[in-house]
């Protein structure tokens, strides 16, 4: 069934979009990532103009994260206090990100900067997670309990605050910084930033994995809602028709994902997420180093 | 060279008058456009048949408007017509027909990637101030054989001629590489099309051309042109507008997005929140059973 998208001005198959939304929603529910880093490139691939893909992708992430976060609220696995601190950093970061985005767009290098930062960050994060979760898995197999690492310098910082749900007594500076970085990325790449935030929360802040997913979804919901609104108002690039189709698939997928996620063990979840992150990283790195099929690219408008 | 070009552009603009170049509408908004307006001032308007013309074209369209609905999947336009003449058919030269469909002009930036330190980076760029968003040419025979180069440049019939307004003086060595690449990629995605031999001409009098408008059509004022050619020159031409409009939900959403962006943004968020909450509630009910 073909459907014409009013803002994107292209005609696409409705079922393809629902399916796409479903896959991304599944990941979102399982890992607590918004799925923006998957949905945006997939939308490019089926011929949606990049600006619209970024904005509408953010809108879809809002729906699937809400669906996921409600599931986690029920299970009491959301640390609202930590989420709010991350959010404050996130909104500031996303404002900075928009400024940076416009600057890079003017000199035509936005694609390159986004790709390089993706490759570096996904590569580092993916490898770290993969190695760590393999070690943890081996330890649990051999019977020993996995111990959380504590970074001394992080605990030496001032402005400490109690995060009861996570069982932490920690300075607010590291979560604010994590939120800020994620906010910048979110505005520049049109992603929620969960794939960066989840590992940062586990390894940097030392939060328990079960709480991390709900909390990251909580923060992502607000940051992407803010991004969507900003794109709609300043660039008119949100396509409701496209968003609705993605959302229908996305929310269903997110619910199923949450169910699967609660049955898997934390180490297994981490290994799976690490593999997904590494796969996306390899794909992007290849695009960067291999000769592209078409050396020329077209961008509408005068930049 | 640059001074000469801009001088030339100014001169041509004076000859052509307002509204001649396809870029002129955009030039008003974005001043740095240096355009090459068509020398032919009334390009696009209805042409009165010249009294001395011995052969005149009479034509019609299967429909003079295209409605984009939610289930829009492309559209077919049939162009039909006849050659009216008071004298018997000339036998010393062959009659040919070329028909074009042209979408509203848009500016576009073309960038080229180059390998730097092992990775592929966008380096040089060329800005085309005005190129049709859709362009389809159909003819009775290959254009090289039936169309004179100067005539092509004057009426802008072939695809490369249809886009010739460069914005910004370019510092690139050969900008035609860029525009050629643009044409190749637009032909690949179906927005540009050259169909030599698609116009059927019967007994030098009746002709018909079928155009397929793709699904990724943009809204706007399209234009259809027909040229009668003999010895590579235009004997007569005809032009008609084609209105491509969104209707129903498509139109409503598009207007809301551009006229009330904040409301539209909030609406899309509301849909997202409602859908997310709805799915969560629905699954809870399912689980309880």
What is the percent of chain A where pLDDT is above 70? 88
Residues A167-181: what's their mean pLDDT?
80
Residues A64/B277, Cβ–Cβ less than 8 Å: no
Task: Look at residues B224, B223, B222, B230 and name the one whose alpha carbon lies nearest to residue B201.
Answer: B230
CA distance A5 to A295: 28
Coil, strand, or helix at residue A258?
A: helix
CA distance A127 to B237: 67
Answer whether residue A299 is part of any domain. no
User: Between residues 278 and 297 of chain A, which touch chain B (CB distance below 8 Å)?
Assistant: 288-289, 291-292, 294-297
Q: Which of A11, A68, A288 sits opposite B73 (nearest CB)?
A: A11
Name which residue leads in pLDDT, B77 or B125: B77
Contact check, Cβ <8 Å, B120/A63: no
Contact check, Cβ <8 Å, B181/A294: yes
User: CB-based contacts of A12: which residues, under 8 Å, 6+ apart?
Assistant: A2, A3, A5, A46, A47, A48, A242
DSSP symbols for chain B:
-HHHHHHHHHHHHHHH-TT-STTHHHHTTSTTB-----S-TTTTSPPPPPTT-SEEEEEEES-SEEEE-TT---EEEEEEEEEEESSPPP-SS-EEEEEEEEPPEEEEEEEEEEEETTEEEEEEEEEEEEEESSEEEEESS-HHHH--HHHHHHHT-SHHHH--EEES----S-HHHHHHHHHHHHHHTTSEEEEET-SEEETTTEEEEEEEEPTTPPPEEEEEEEEEEETTEEEEEEEEEEEEEE-HHHHHHHHHHHH-HHHHHHHHHHHHHHHHHHHHHHHHHHHH-
- Rounded to a whole number of angstroms, the CA Rg of chain B reads 24
Ramachandran region, residue B98 (left: φ > 0; alpha: ψ -120 to 50; beta: rest): beta
Q: What ipTM was assigned to the predicted interfaces of this complex?
A: 0.76
Residue B267, Cβ density class (10 Å: 0-12 exposed, 13-18 middle, ≥19 buried):
middle
Chain A contact set for B250 (CB, 8 A)? 4, 6, 241
Residue B92, Cβ density class (10 Å: 0-12 exposed, 13-18 middle, ≥19 buried):
exposed
Over the range A193-208, which residues count as b (16 or more CB within 10 Å of their CB) and which as e?
A: bbbbbbbbbbbbbbbb
Q: Which of B109, B189, B246 sits opposite A299 (nearest CB)?
A: B109
Residues A221-236: what's their mean pLDDT?
83
How many angstroms separate the CA of residue B201 from the nearest CA in chain A? 33
pLDDT of residue B28: 37
Residues A214-228: what's their mean pLDDT?
85
Name which residue leads in pLDDT, B219 or A186: B219
Q: Is residue A66's pLDDT more than 60? A: yes
Answer whether residue A123 is part of any domain. yes
Residue range(s) defining the domain that contains residue A218? 2-289
Residues B129/B26, Cβ–Cβ less than 8 Å: yes
Backbone angles phi, psi at A263, to 5 degrees: -90, -25
Strand B135-139, strand B192-196: pairing: parallel
Task: Look at residues A291, A280, A303, A277 and name the one whose alpha carbon lies nearest to residue A128.
Answer: A277
Answer whether residue A193 is part of any domain. yes
Answer whether residue A297 is part of any domain. no
Answer whether residue A301 is part of any domain. no
From A30-44, A136-150, A207-221, A224-238, the region with the lowest mean pLDDT: A136-150
Structure-token pair, residue A303: 């930049």
Coil, strand, or helix at residue A6?
A: coil
pLDDT of residue B12: 41
Answer whether residue A36 is part of any domain. yes
Residues B196-208: what's their mean pLDDT?
85
How many angstroms separate the CA of residue A127 from the nearest CA in chain B? 22
Backbone angles phi, psi at B272, to 5 degrees: -60, -45
Answer whether residue A298 is part of any domain. no
Name which residue leads in pLDDT, B137 or B288: B137
How many angstroms separate the CA of residue B65 from the nearest CA in chain A? 17
CA distance B248 to A241: 13
Is pTM beyond 0.80? Reply is: no
Structure-token pair, residue B152: 């092509």
CA distance A287 to A290: 6
Answer whether residue A253 is part of any domain. yes
Coil, strand, or helix at residue A145?
A: coil
Total tally of structural domains belonging to chain A: 1
User: Between residues 39 and 58 of chain A, which touch chain B (CB distance below 8 Å)?
Assistant: 47
pLDDT tens sequence across A74-130: 877 788 888 888 889 888 888 888 778 777 777 767 677 777 877 887 788 788 778
Long-range contacts of B252-260 (CB under 8 A, 24+ apart): B253/A6, B253/A7, B253/A240, B253/A241, B254/A6, B254/A7, B254/B219, B257/A6, B257/A7, B257/A232, B257/A236, B257/A238, B257/A240, B258/A236
Average pLDDT of chain B, as a whole number: 76
Residue B32 pLDDT grade (very low, low, confident, very high; cuts 50, 70, 90): very low
């Amino acid at each position: 069934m073909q459907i014409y998208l009013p803002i994107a001005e292209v005609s696409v198959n409705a079922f393809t979009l629902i399916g796409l939304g479903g896959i991304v929603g599944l990941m979102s529910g399982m890992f607590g990532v918004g799925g923006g880093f998957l949905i945006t490139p997939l939308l490019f691939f089926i011929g949606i103009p990049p600006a619209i893909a970024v904005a509408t992708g953010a809108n879809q992430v809002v729906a699937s994260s809400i669906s996921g976060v409600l599931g986690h609220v029920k299970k009491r696995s959301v640390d609202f206090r930590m989420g709010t601190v991350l959010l404050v950093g996130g909104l500031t970061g996303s404002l900075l990100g928009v400024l940076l985005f416009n600057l890079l767009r003017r000199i035509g290098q936005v694609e390159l900067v986004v790709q390089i930062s993706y490759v570096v960050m996904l590569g580092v994060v993916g490898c770290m997670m993969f190695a760590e979760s393999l070690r943890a898995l081996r330890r649990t197999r051999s019977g020993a309990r996995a111990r959380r690492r504590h970074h001394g310098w992080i605990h030496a910082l001032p402005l400490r605050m109690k995060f009861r749900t996570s069982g932490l007594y920690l300075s607010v500076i590291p979560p604010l910084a994590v939120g800020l970085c994620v906010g910048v990325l979110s505005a520049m790449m049109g992603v929620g930033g969960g794939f960066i935030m989840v590992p940062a929360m586990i390894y940097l802040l030392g939060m328990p994995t079960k709480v991390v997913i709900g909390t990251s979804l909580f923060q992502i919901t607000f940051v992407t809602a803010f991004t969507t609104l900003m794109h709609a108002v300043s660039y008119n690039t949100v396509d409701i028709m496209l968003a609705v189709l993605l959302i229908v698939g996305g929310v269903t997928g997110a619910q199923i994902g949450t169910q699967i996620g609660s049955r898997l063990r934390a180490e297994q979840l981490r290994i799976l997420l690490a593999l997904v992150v590494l796969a996306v990283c390899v794909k992007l790195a290849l695009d960067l180093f291999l000769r592209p099929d078409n050396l020329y690219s077209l961008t509408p408008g005068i930049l | 060279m640059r001074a000469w070009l801009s001088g030339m552009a100014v001169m041509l603009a004076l000859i052509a008058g307002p509204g001649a170049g396809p870029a002129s509408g955009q030039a008003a908004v974005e001043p740095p456009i240096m355009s090459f307006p068509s020398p032919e001032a009334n390009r696009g308007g209805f042409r009165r048949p010249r009294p001395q013309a011995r052969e005149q074209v009479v034509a019609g369209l299967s429909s003079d408007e295209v409605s984009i609905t939610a289930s829009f999947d492309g559209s077919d336009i049939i162009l039909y017509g006849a050659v009216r003449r008071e004298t018997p058919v000339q036998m010393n030269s062959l009659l040919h027909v070329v028909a074009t469909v042209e979408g509203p002009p848009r500016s576009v930036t073309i960038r080229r990637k180059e390998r730097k330190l092992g990775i592929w980076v966008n380096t040089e760029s060329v800005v085309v101030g005005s190129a049709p968003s859709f362009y389809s040419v159909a003819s009775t025979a290959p254009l090289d054989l039936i169309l004179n180069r100067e005539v092509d440049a004057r009426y802008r019939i072939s695809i490369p001629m249809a886009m010739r307004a460069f914005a910004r003086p370019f510092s690139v060595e050969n900008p035609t590489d860029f525009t050629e690449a643009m044409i190749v990629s637009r032909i690949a995605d179906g927005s540009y099309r050259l169909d030599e031999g698609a116009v059927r001409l019967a007994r030098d009098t009746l002709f018909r051309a079928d155009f397929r408008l793709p699904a990724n059509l943009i809204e706007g004022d399209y234009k259809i042109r027909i040229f009668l050619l003999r010895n590579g020159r235009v004997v007569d031409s005809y032009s008609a507008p084609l209105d491509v409009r969104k209707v129903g939900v498509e139109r409503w959403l598009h207007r809301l997005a551009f006229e009330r962006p904040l409301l539209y943004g909030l609406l899309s968020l509301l849909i997202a929140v409602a859908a997310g909450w709805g799915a969560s509630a629905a699954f809870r009910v399912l689980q309880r059973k």
